[in-house]
Homo-oligomer: A and B are copies of this chain.
Amino acid sequence: TEGASGILHISMSTVSPETSRRMAQIHSGRGDRFVSAPVFGRPEAAAARKLWICQSGEADAKAQVRPVLEAMGQGIFDFGEDPGAANVVKLAGNFLIASAIEAMAEAFTLGEKNGVERGRMAEMFARTLFACPIYLNYGRLIAEQGYDKVGFSLPLGLKDMQLLQATAVTSKVPMPFAGVVRDRLVAAMAKGREGLDWTGFALGVSEDAGLG
C-alpha cells in the first residue's frame, strides 16, 4: 500500500484494550500491523524464558511474531482477533492478583487479632487449597509484611487498577472488588507509600484493624 512501512508493532505493555484497538487501527491505516502481547512475569522471568504471554490481533501478524514470543515465554495464550482482548485478560489477571492480596490481608489480619500467626495461616493455605505461585509468593510477603522489597511498584499497581476500572465502565461491568483495591492503593499513595511494592496496600488492612 502507498506509504506502507512494513512495520509490525508488538505491544507488550499493560495498556488499556482501547489503546490497543486504536493503535491497531492507526497501524492498519498505514498498511502496518499490530499485535497485542502483554505478559505476566518479572524481568527475571523474561530472562529465563518463563513469561506467560497473552496475545490477540490479526492472525497473519500473530503467526509472524510467534518465534519472538516463544523466545520469551513458557506459554502463549491466544485470545482471538480483537487487539484489545489480550489487554482485557492482562488487566483481569492483575485484578485477580490484587483481589487475592486484599483477601489474604483481611484473612491474615483476622487471624492475627485472634492470636493466629500470619505466617502459619499463609503457609497452610499455600500448601493446600491455594497451592499456586500467587498465594505462595504473595502470601509469604503479606505474612511477613516486607513491602519495601519492590517487585512491582505501588504506583504501577494503581495505574493498572485505573485502566481496569476505565474498561469496566466502558464495557458496563460493576466490579466492587476493583473499587476496594483501587481505594486501598489510593490510600497508600496518600500515606506516602509510592516507594513500596504494590502488595504494600495490605498495610492499610492492618491499620484499619488498629494494628501497626
**Chain B residue at minimal CB-CB distance from A139:** B96
Tell me whether A129 and B174 are in contact in the complex, defined as CB-CB below 8 angstroms, given that A85-B114, A110-B168, A116-B88 are known contacts. Answer: no
CA distance A164 to B110 in the complex (A): 9
Query: Chain copies in the assembly?
Result: 2
CA distance A196 to B40 in the complex (A): 35
Kindly state whether residue A75 has any CB partner on chain B within 8 Å.
Answer: yes
- Chain B residues with Cβ below 8 Å from A175 are 106, 110
CA distance A95 to B132 in the complex (A): 18
- Chain B residues with Cβ below 8 Å from A88 are 110-111, 114, 116
Instruction: Give the distance to chain B from A80, nearest Cβ to Cβ, in Å.
Output: 7
Which residues of A are interface residues toward B (Cβ below 8 A)? 17, 40, 52, 54, 75, 77, 79-80, 82, 84-85, 88-89, 91-93, 95-97, 99-100, 102-104, 106-111, 113-116, 120-121, 124-125, 127-135, 164, 167-168, 171-178, 180, 208-210
Q: List 26 A-B contacts (CB under 8 A).
A: A77-B120, A77-B124, A79-B116, A79-B120, A85-B114, A88-B110, A88-B111, A89-B111, A89-B124, A92-B107, A92-B110, A92-B121, A93-B129, A95-B106, A96-B130, A99-B99, A99-B103, A102-B177, A106-B173, A106-B175, A106-B178, A110-B173, A110-B175, A131-B133, A176-B180, A177-B180
